[in-house]
Structure 1
Amino acid sequence: MIEANFYDYLQQKEPPQILVVENDKEAQTAKAVAKILGFDTVVLPDFRATFGEDLRSWKEELFELNSALKEYYQKNIQNLLLIVPFHTLIYLLPKPELLDTFSISFGDDIDLENLKNRLYAWGYSFVDVVETKGEVSIRGDIIDIFSPNANNPWRISLFDTEVESIRTFEVENQKSNKNEEIEEIMIAPALFSFSTEQFEALQKKVEASDSDVFVKDVASLGFWYLDELSHDLMAGKRAVAIKNLQDEIVFAYEHAKNALPKERFNLEVIPETKRAKVIEPINVDLLTENYPERELVIVAESDALVRRSPIKELARATIVKTDGVVNLLTPDKIIVSLNKPFKKRVVKRPTILLDDLKPGDYVVHESYGVGIFKGIEPHQVLGAMRDFVHITYQNDDTLLLPVENLDMIDRYIAEGGSLPVLDRLGKGGFGKLKAKVKDRLFAIASEIVNMSAKRLLMKGAVIKTDIPELMQFREAAGFEYTPDQIKAVEEIFADLSSGRVMDRLLSGDVGFGKTEVAMNAILAVVKSGYQSAFVVPTTLLSSQHFKSVRDRLDPFGVRVDKLDRFTTAKQKKRILEELEKGELDVVIGTHALLGATFKNLGLVIIDEEHKFGVKQKEALKQMSVNVHLLSMSATPIPRSLNMALSKIKGYSELRTPPVERKGVRTFVKSFDETVVKEAIMRELRRGGQLFYVYNSIAGIESKKEELLEILPDLRILILHSKITAVQTEKEILKFEAGQYDLLLSTSIIESGIHMPKVNTMIVDGADRFGMADLHQLRGRVGRGKLEGYCYFLVENKDALSEQAKRRLIALESNSFLGSGAVLAYHDLEIRGGGNLIGESQSGHIKQIGYALYLKMLEDAIRALSQESAPERKRVDIKLSITAYISEELVSHDRVRLELYRRLSSCESVHDVIEIEQEIEDRFGKPDLPTRQFLDLVTIKVLAQQKGVERISNYNEHITIQYNEENKTTCKARSRDDDDLIATVLEELRK
């Protein structure tokens, strides 16, 4: 309702100068409403640091706040509306003079000493290698600087003291952009633009404070002690609140030392309105028919959204370009938003990593088999230019595949780097091979289907999933579930209440909330009168899960215990008796609980199944033979993936990172004491702790000595599997309490350890680990709100094997959240499919490649389960229009290929719009051929949805063919590209 109230208020009353909202989401909505009514706005971010907190932890948010404040101070115009989340206003904010910038231009004379002093006073960190905003590195006549107001860092080259060139460079590979020369750059402060005197005075104030931060300096505490350099943003301004913020105020002021007085927020609250109302615009055309006299206003963040909207009345609509979602019916307007609701971007998993598809790579075409990818080439067809994928086969035969059908090929992935044999075009050899593999696949598939059928015939415990405790449990989480978590819980509940035995795989990247989802299932099972067993591969993981499950389920009367090597013989005897009598609801443990007898077992949860040995897997199978089974994994092993993709196991996937989760920055470096020292110091400066993984029990003590030589005051805890269980548990608790700075251990911390204060990890000898292991290790950091850093150190980069190099490069280039599943594919290629999928199957994978093998296995299982496969209609588009992503717009072949690949897999018009918006953002407005290619993809998507087989034209005559008998013809106004496109789109949208 807030948008309706605010809209009506702005129309009735004198507009305020400041609008106070609750959070970022409300700020976006208010901004859109103001924009519709012609007000210029500045939105400050939601800055929730509390007094005395180390600001290094809030660096990104502070950059954002400073940038928005500077924009506000500079605008100084009449009807400017400042929209501010309440938390940002609690403290005094910096005055305009603290947000100055200075310029460096080509040809300037630089006094290096002065520059260093200025950057130091402005809060820059001096480092060897510039990686994040607010860092500077000066190496002789090269200055690297990453200013908070820039998207990329700059490299300034000096000739003596004169600026010879300014270029941007990539953080990932540290290479500068040679094709770009910048005339002038504006450098913003990393903290504030202090003079040296102001900086020194503030440093004294900070040192005298009673703060308990690790390093008392301006960078960590300066914001809190600005005093006369700050001011109350609301002073002398008319401020109103979008709604009553009383609850927020009470909550926020529990920690708000040095805050503005509470009375400051006794603001006028915008009243409720009856004149405007929020609508759900399912059918906009119907609305405009019912209210023809009202003005139609369309809110969209880009032209692409408007261009692809099916609304008939577009021509008479007023377009307002802004983000935010506002759908209102007012006495004189119909306001409709085409934007998606404000939410975090979901990282979608590609089937192959396109960055790796290079000319010379082997690919598999689903009809023609294995060939060599040669790149993208333009060709003229029907008098128009189009791009094609060039693939060569035996005897240098060539296949040209239109780029919009790029989804028909996959990169060839097989066992440990073995090379495939090229297929021959037109000989039908690949068809015969596919038929042979298909027979073998049917045997494998029928085995899987029979196992599944047996489970389906078993009657499972019917679990009640509509009990009030489940709602209360979710509300008590203290955070909002991601859409994926909600969906996974619903899917699990559907299985549990179906009366059949559940067999579901829950896959999700490390720290995406799998345990939280599993606890919903445990609670439902226990409240329905059954017991649950939670089996994990390591003792550390069992104590971690035990703690979180007990803390979350205890308030609901669930009795939880754990059984592992920390359990004494006496405790073990008691637990086993309680399980047999049914006095214990949930037991969490390692394989120690595999022989236990339960009174009424209803659910078995297995975490990281691939970590168990063969005998343990058999025991797990026996244990879960007729009870509900939930397997969890961060890197799905291909066999489970096969089952999951083929609908034999239920499959739920968590792909959305928790709202406050950031990626883990990953760096692969040669071992160097400077790197180690800088990584440790950076983490300690922001008040955190570190993991140092060194996988050799024999050498771990001397590694400790080595670290103490670099940093003598470091408090180091050593852990490995030879240390007794009791000792390990005691020491871990001390580490969690902050009595140590660094945990030096073997890879035993790999699984599931959850310590939000640990946000930097150093892996020494990273080349000696498997890929999935490194990804799991990296998932131990960056689990709180802070960005995690992970350093993979190798002794000698040059001496690495090709496999080790590829493994590390894959990890470095996939540090984004949600890359676990992508890495599982890489792992498959690098370690080889054989050992993961079973020897009997690896031969087939070698012949046809993993991706096609998986598709065929899926089809075989579908056929045996008598489940109709979803038809992927191929559309043959033969239109004489010039359509390709032009090199002028996107100059790198690799990037164009990636865009082509993603566009070829689009399943809805909205997918196409999203990519069009991204192209505009990254490369500028699409030119004519690019825009026409996007139209071509839209035509393909709509045609697939309508079951069209072929679209062609002869001059202005267009034929749309559904099958042999059924086709329609239409005529464009002319044979021009835009007329042909418009006519086809109009026809398909009917």
Structure 2
Amino acid sequence: MQAACYEYYKHGGKAQILVAKNDKEVARLKDAVALAGKKPFALPDFRARNSEDLRSYSAELYALLAALNHFANEASPKKVLISPLRTLLHPLPAPKLLKRRTLCFGERVSLAAFKEELLHWGYTFVDVVESHGEVSFRGDIIDIFSIDAVEPVRISLFGDEIESIRFFACETQKSDKTEHESVTILPALFGLDAQGFERVLHTIENTPSDAFVKDMLSMGFWGLGELRMDYLSHFDACFAQKMDGEIAEIALFDETIDAARLLALPLLPEPKQYQDIEVSAPKPFLELHQNKRITLLARNEALLKQVNIEELGRFQESPLVVNIMSKEEIILSLNKPLSKKRPKRPSMILDELRIGDYVVHESYGVGIFKGLTNTTVLGATRDFVTLVYQGEDKLLLPVENLHVIDRYISDGGGLATLDKLGKGSFQKLKAKTREKLFEIAKEIIDIAAKRELVKGFSVRCDHEEMALFRAQAGFEYTPDQERSIEEIFEDLGSGKVMDRLLSGDVGFGKTEVAMNAILATVKGGYQVAFIAPTTLLSSQHFKSIKERLSGFGVRLAKLDRFTTTKERTSLLRGLAEGSIDVCIGTHALLGAPMKNQALLVIDEEHKFGVKQKEALKNMRANIHVLSMSATPIPRSLNMALSSIRQYSQILTPPKEREDVRTFVKEYDEVLVKEVLLREIRRGGQIFYVHNRIASIESKARELRQVLPSLRILVLHSQVSAAFTEKEMLRFEEGAYDVLLSTSIIESGIHLPNVNTIMIESSDHFGIADLHQLRGRVGRGARQGFCYFLVQNKEALTDQAKKRLVALESNASLGSGSVLAYHDLEIRGGGNLVGEAQSGHIKNIGYALYLKMLEDAIGELMHHEKSEKKEIDLKLSISAYISPECVGEDRVRLELYRRLSHCKSIQEVYEIEEEMCDRFGSVDVPTKQFLELIVVKILGMASQVSSIANYQQNITVAFEDGKKEVLKSPSKDDDDILATLLEYLRKKEKR
């Protein structure tokens, strides 16, 4: 196909549109067109159906509009638009809607007119710009993320004149230091004027659709009417290859498609000179064809040196991937196709606290967060966080002490019980928990100390055999997988006993990493036991390990509740004699005698019972242990445990993994039937989440009425473990179409055939739970679908609507996923400690529990004092981040949270610089608040316990009981702060 395309355009081919099957073909054709000297523009595979909600297609829609814009505005006659067939079946925006606007340094901008223009162009107005098509106006600062840009741009105005143009990073919100002369902005959607915008909105309003919110982003594409045109009729077009079957299939499902017109389009002529080639070993291939003219395409010279073929052909620095040959010439690329860039996870947890959330205060326990309150006390204005406790008692927490509260996350997401203010009961609870934690910490450290004294089996791996094993994986390892394997091999060969935790989401390739360790151990002459908590998990592992290792002479066996007595006897004999290399099983494998065991692999260890954990403890005393977990552990706890236990993380998903297509819909039987049928038609299965045990059976009857032939498995927490396990095995084998369950859907299982999930009453779930449930599907290379269903969208609060819509348009990004990851990380830390602690966790929440565990481990290991004293600041100065400077409460709260966690003055100054960058110059109250944080940090370094003032007199009290009185030049806020800062800085120097 590349050969035909290259030859056609090299010899003056006229078609301005080239039609391909899918994204992969488009990428290959794009490279061939570019090599032939044309300018290619590629459209994405846009598979939305007419009047469908486009929020979940926003990434494709933006890519489509950006590519069309660049194509329309390209003056060169050499331009070629390459597109998948399904994209061109839609009429696309006419060239007059594909406008652009260039903003230059020194240009005058009318803010009101510019806002209006961006609104008509389809931009979404937000507080913080995080993804394409968003804009934020904050005083004299404008952040815009154009749909064709790699990073958003920050424009600073002086009055109405553009003073600076700089790009910035979404993850940190900090701008680059490089100033730009100009920047070009494309419409987020369409370049409409006020009249056109109103007309499109009117059309949208009258278009029948089940879109959750009927707005420009959800429906705009369908509301353009005569502003769209058929690109296939307007430009010369041809097919890259025959597509009769595809056209017939599409026409069968959509009667509006004119199949005859499509079939009349010409086909790329067959190549006369060139042919496509696939080369796995470049050097011998090129040596064989030395008499030909050879062009080598590579991103850099290093690629040539790697394969040692510099002297065999002419090097052309190019990112293209084209492999073709003729009788006289070979064009060979050493580049690999670039994998799709995954969005980086933002580091800011913007939605961390919402009004009504449960929080835990380190000293007062569980309360309800009620937002920020700006209050004047003794003539000084300050911001406080309001917390409500039992009996409607209120606590006003100064924002500089925000670090003493954290969101309440309980075991299994249960509801909290509010504590009573002033009773001291929470302090008693904490003390009791602390005692228990010291026992746990001591146990963790003792086990580690014992293991340190034991000499481990030294496993040397055969690198050639391991390279062959990797080559047969059928996919490329991610950098995280490679790093984890290296770390494990280092441990195995060190002569010390390994105790490593490998964490990564389901489907991210933990088992593949473990298989490298298993093969190396077996080839080193040792045996391996692989233990999982359930029969389903162990049988899944057995299948995948057998598939990968049987070709390498590894003798495998499986031991679980389905193993007969006869098989069990023979298996145990084989283990004791050494005729079995690897045994995979459940806790039935615990304590089985093995002749020469060097490695124990444990999956989801926290799911084992107390007895099994004891047996595991005895087993692991002198052998290498690799534990695998699908939940990450908090960074800080990892640091506390790092000297005791090694830790590897797999954070990057496999290359072929797609983001899950997400829809928010009002519950409707027709929709449910359509979704179920579509998944069943493609041979898949469905998760249906109904979170009420009382009505789950009637929901099953309801679904059977919708589709009488539906095979439904009903599971919830009151169903016995044995039944659950047996039926889940049958579900995996395809005995059921739908798993109807509460939100207990097993987080550790890998069911690649389940690629649709429907969640009823999704507005009753937390954002982290929804994010985690969505992660249950789309685990293979197949597109996953997630439907968040609500009973009545009119009854939802604006806040709930916003949260669901954010999840719909962000399949993988945004603060929602950071928050989900944050919750998951904390729960993962709880997994390390074990479920026996769930009572203590419920009392004080995961976050505080793990903070106290870190302190206990730190104290036992380094004899550090874990209690940090707080400074009592009673200064009558007005200090707060003003709404004039930072308009949004949630953004101010995030800044307060970060400032309260600052441990050095340098960190405060970095945040100040960031604030000037993001919001413009800081005003007086904001500057004074930043200085107050500096006072607090300096005071803590000098063991100050409290600072208070009465007019000009300032009293500084120390932890040892001493006091000093300072006098400032006046009672003005700035003088009091300046006097304090000067005194504390001198003290710090001394």
TM-score above 0.5, yes or no: yes
1: CA distance between counterparts of 2:928 and 2:474?
45
User: Residues 938 and 578 (structure 1 numbering): CA distance in 2 closer, same or farther, change over 3 Å?
Assistant: farther
SS at match of 2:856: helix
2:419 corresponds in structure 1 to 420
User: Residues 162 and 477 (structure 1 numbering): CA distance in 2 closer, same or farther, change over 3 Å?
Assistant: closer
User: Residues 72 and 518 (structure 1 numbering): CA distance in 2 closer, same or farther, change over 3 Å?
Assistant: same
1:358 corresponds in structure 2 to 355
2:784 corresponds in structure 1 to 788
1: CA distance between counterparts of 2:639 and 2:741?
33
User: 1:616 Cα shift?
Assistant: 3.5
Alignment partner for residue 600 of structure 1, among 593, 596, 600? 596
User: Residues 778 and 227 (structure 1 numbering): CA distance in 2 closer, same or farther, change over 3 Å?
Assistant: same
Structure 2: gaps of 5 or more residues: 1-15, 18-22, 48-53, 99-131, 133-185, 283-292, 306-338, 716-720, 948-958, 961-973
1:517 corresponds in structure 2 to 513
Alignment partner for residue 927 of structure 1, among 906, 920, 927? 920
1:71 corresponds in structure 2 to 69
1: CA distance between counterparts of 2:59 and 2:766?
36
User: Residues 863 and 829 (structure 1 numbering): CA distance in 2 closer, same or farther, change over 3 Å?
Assistant: closer
User: Residues 902 and 942 (structure 1 numbering): CA distance in 2 closer, same or farther, change over 3 Å?
Assistant: same
Is 1:344 the counterpart of 2:342? The answer is yes
Deviations 1:600-646 (A, max 9, x none): 122222222344344444443443343222332334799x9899858
User: Residues 413 and 676 (structure 1 numbering): CA distance in 2 closer, same or farther, change over 3 Å?
Assistant: closer
Deviations 1:623-679 (A, max 9, x none): 3343222332334799x9899858644444444444443454667888652342132
2: CA distance between counterparts of 1:818 and 1:360?
17
2:94 corresponds in structure 1 to 100
2:583 corresponds in structure 1 to 587
1: CA distance between counterparts of 2:819 and 2:901?
19
2:138 corresponds in structure 1 to none
Deviations 1:461-507 (A, max 9, x none): 23336844445544544445445444544444444344333333333
User: 1:783 Cα shift?
Assistant: 0.8
1: CA distance between counterparts of 2:820 and 2:732?
27
1: CA distance between counterparts of 2:487 and 2:923?
41
SS at match of 1:525: helix
**Equivalent position amino acid for 1:526 in 2:** V
SS at match of 2:922: helix
Alignment partner for residue 558 of structure 1, among 554, 560, 568? 554
User: Residues 707 and 496 (structure 1 numbering): CA distance in 2 closer, same or farther, change over 3 Å?
Assistant: same
User: Residues 895 and 771 (structure 1 numbering): CA distance in 2 closer, same or farther, change over 3 Å?
Assistant: closer
2:501 corresponds in structure 1 to 505
Instruction: Tell me the percent identity.
Output: 44
**Equivalent position amino acid for 2:547 in 1:** D
User: 1:854 Cα shift?
Assistant: 2.3
What are the equivalent positions in structure 2 for 1:521-920 lying under 5 Å apart? 521-567=517-563, 571-635=567-631, 648-664=644-660, 672-683=668-679, 688-691=684-687, 707=703, 709-711=705-707, 716=711, 732=732, 742-744=737-739, 750=746, 752-762=748-758, 778-791=774-787, 816=812, 822-824=822-824, 836-837=836-837, 839=839, 841=840, 846=843, 850-866=846-862, 887=883, 891-898=887-894, 900-901=896-897
SS at match of 2:919: coil
What are the equivalent positions in structure 2 for 1:252-331 lying under 5 Å apart? none
Contact 1:363–1:412 (8 Å) recurs in 2: yes
User: 1:782 Cα shift?
Assistant: 0.9
1:209 corresponds in structure 2 to 245
SS at match of 1:588: strand
Q: TM-score, normalised by structure 1?
A: 0.56
SS at match of 2:497: coil
Deviations 1:322-360 (A, max 9, x none): xxxxxxxxxxxxxxxxxxx9953444798x994444268
SS at match of 1:781: coil
2: CA distance between counterparts of 1:474 and 1:348?
33
2: CA distance between counterparts of 1:189 and 1:232?
32
SS at match of 1:929: coil
SS at match of 1:209: helix
Deviations 1:505-532 (A, max 9, x none): 3333333332223223223322332222
1: CA distance between counterparts of 2:562 and 2:767?
30
Deviations 1:768-821 (A, max 9, x none): 999999987654411134553345779999999xxxx9x999999997568776
2: CA distance between counterparts of 1:670 and 1:48?
24
2: CA distance between counterparts of 1:583 and 1:838?
42
2: CA distance between counterparts of 1:430 and 1:508?
35
SS at match of 2:862: coil
User: 1:450 Cα shift?
Assistant: 2.5
Contact 2:685–2:756 (8 Å) recurs in 1: yes
**Equivalent position amino acid for 2:245 in 1:** S
User: 1:230 Cα shift?
Assistant: 8.9
User: 1:837 Cα shift?
Assistant: 0.7
1: CA distance between counterparts of 2:767 and 2:388?
32
SS at match of 2:457: coil
Worse overlay, 505-514 or 483-492: 483-492
Contact 2:559–2:583 (8 Å) recurs in 1: yes
What are the equivalent positions in structure 2 for 1:317-466 lying under 5 Å apart? 344-347=342-345, 354-358=351-355, 361-365=358-362, 373-377=369-373, 389=385, 401-403=398-400, 406-412=402-408, 416-423=415-422, 438-439=434-435, 441-464=437-460
Contact 1:704–1:744 (8 Å) recurs in 2: no
User: 1:586 Cα shift?
Assistant: 1.7
SS at match of 2:538: helix
2:139 corresponds in structure 1 to none
SS at match of 1:358: coil
Worse overlay, 895-904 or 598-607: 895-904
2: CA distance between counterparts of 1:931 and 1:96?
55
**Equivalent position amino acid for 2:855 in 1:** D
SS at match of 2:512: helix
Worse overlay, 874-883 or 788-797: 874-883
User: Residues 837 and 63 (structure 1 numbering): CA distance in 2 closer, same or farther, change over 3 Å?
Assistant: same
1:310 corresponds in structure 2 to none
User: Residues 219 and 780 (structure 1 numbering): CA distance in 2 closer, same or farther, change over 3 Å?
Assistant: farther
Worse overlay, 446-455 or 464-473: 464-473
**Equivalent position amino acid for 2:65 in 1:** S
User: Residues 874 and 82 (structure 1 numbering): CA distance in 2 closer, same or farther, change over 3 Å?
Assistant: farther
1:261 corresponds in structure 2 to none
Contact 1:406–1:901 (8 Å) recurs in 2: yes
Report the aligned-residue RMSD: 7.7
User: 1:927 Cα shift?
Assistant: 3.0
User: 1:431 Cα shift?
Assistant: 8.1
**Equivalent position amino acid for 2:446 in 1:** N
Structure 1: gaps of 5 or more residues: 1-16, 35-40, 50-55, 105-132, 134-147, 236-243, 252-264, 278-340, 953-962, 965-974
2: CA distance between counterparts of 1:491 and 1:861?
24
Contact 1:45–1:64 (8 Å) recurs in 2: no
